[in-house]
Amino acid sequence: MGIIRTDKLVFEYIRRDEEGNVEGITRAVDEVDLDVKQGDFVAILGHNGSGKSTLAKHINAMLYPTEGAVWVDGMNTQDEKHLWDIRQEAGMVFQNPDNQIIGQVVEEDVGFGPENMGVPTEEIWARVEESLKAVGMYEYRKYSPNKLSGGQKQRVSIAGVIAMHPKCIILDEPTAMLDPNGRREVVRAVRALNDVEGITIVLITHYMEEIIHANKVFVMDQGRVAMQGTPREIFSQVEQLKELRLDVPQATLLAYELQKSGVKLPDGILTTEELVQALTQVYHG
């Protein structure tokens, strides 16, 4: 069984007016089946309000299913005696780094998680060191977090999660508030955790360029999984993505536009390198 599995997951919430009268019921997640294997890099796309974040919050038991079930490493998230095990195994990183950092010094912040788990002091320090090194922030360990850039703060947040030795990390739009450099730093750190440490990654994002290295992409719409496949399969369907309020990387879009004008290019071009190679072939051939 995969590290994260959902079985016909449904989440509904009740909308109320100001007096507390029921106005209706919204089904935010609608019969979603996921099966994520240990070591996968999964990306979840979807427009605002498509149910991505609601789905993600089920993975570390911040929300519980209305119907269906969620298992993390074989543990049902509704089983209260596993709550802390699940939160330790499935770490979560949110959009705004300023809301996630509590320590006065970077290394204290990163040590907060393991300290709360009751890890012995020497091991906490060992974990802080290895986590900060994994995200390339070790040289900043004595800094105050408010002296760091957005991308650096977000990497400290990720280090704080890694220090708890999770098997998977769920990142909910971790780059939405960052500048291009910050986005690059965070994406690089996330890829390294997946490649080198084998940590399972679930990345939610609105930036299409960030997911071209994922091995599986889910596209959400109205609480359902509307499309799934490899990045290449997903990005081959430019029109359908646009209908779902999404986008494709610029290289993919340019290739698609050139195809429409009669240039013979393969489908699903993802990167600058692929497009340049295909175009030079057309030019010289």
Question: Using CB under 8 A as the criterion, which residues of the chain lie in contact with other proteins when the complex forms?
Answer: 46-49, 95, 149-151, 173, 176-182, 206, 208-209, 242, 245-247, 249-251, 253-254, 257-258, 261-263, 272-273, 275-276, 279-280, 282-284
Of residues 38 and 95, the one with the C-beta less far from other proteins = 95
Of residues 78 and 272, the one with the C-beta less far from other proteins = 272
Output the smallest distance, CB 148 to other proteins, in A: 10
Output the smallest distance, CB 55 to other proteins, in A: 15
- Give the helix/strand (H/E) hosting 10: strand 4-16
Output the smallest distance, CB 81 to other proteins, in A: 36
Of residues 21 and 48, the one with the C-beta less far from other proteins = 48
- Give the helix/strand (H/E) hosting 106: helix 106-116
Per-residue b/e over 64-87, b at no fewer than 16 CB within 10 Å?
ebeebbbbbbebebeeeebeeebb
The values of phi and psi at residue 280, to 5°, are -65, -35
Of residues 151 and 166, the one with the C-beta less far from other proteins = 151
Of residues 223 and 249, the one with the C-beta less far from other proteins = 249
Q: Can you say how many angstroms the Cα of residue 262 is from the centroid of all Cα atoms in its chain?
A: 37
Output the smallest distance, CB 71 to other proteins, in A: 29
Check if the beta carbon of residue 198 is closer than 8 Å to that of residue 167: no
Output the smallest distance, CB 63 to other proteins, in A: 19
Check if the beta carbon of residue 218 is closer than 8 Å to that of residue 244: no
Nearest-CA neighbor of 38 among 4, 6, 9?
4
Output the smallest distance, CB 15 to other proteins, in A: 8
Check if the beta carbon of residue 11 is closer than 8 Å to that of residue 28: yes
Of residues 80 and 146, the one with the C-beta less far from other proteins = 146
Of residues 12 and 129, the one with the C-beta less far from other proteins = 12
Residue 33 token pair: 């089946």
Residue 285 token pair: 């051939």
Nearest-CA neighbor of 65 among 32, 112, 108?
32
Separation CA 42–CA 23 (nearest Å): 36
- The one-letter code for the residue type at 177 is M
Output the smallest distance, CB 73 to other proteins, in A: 31
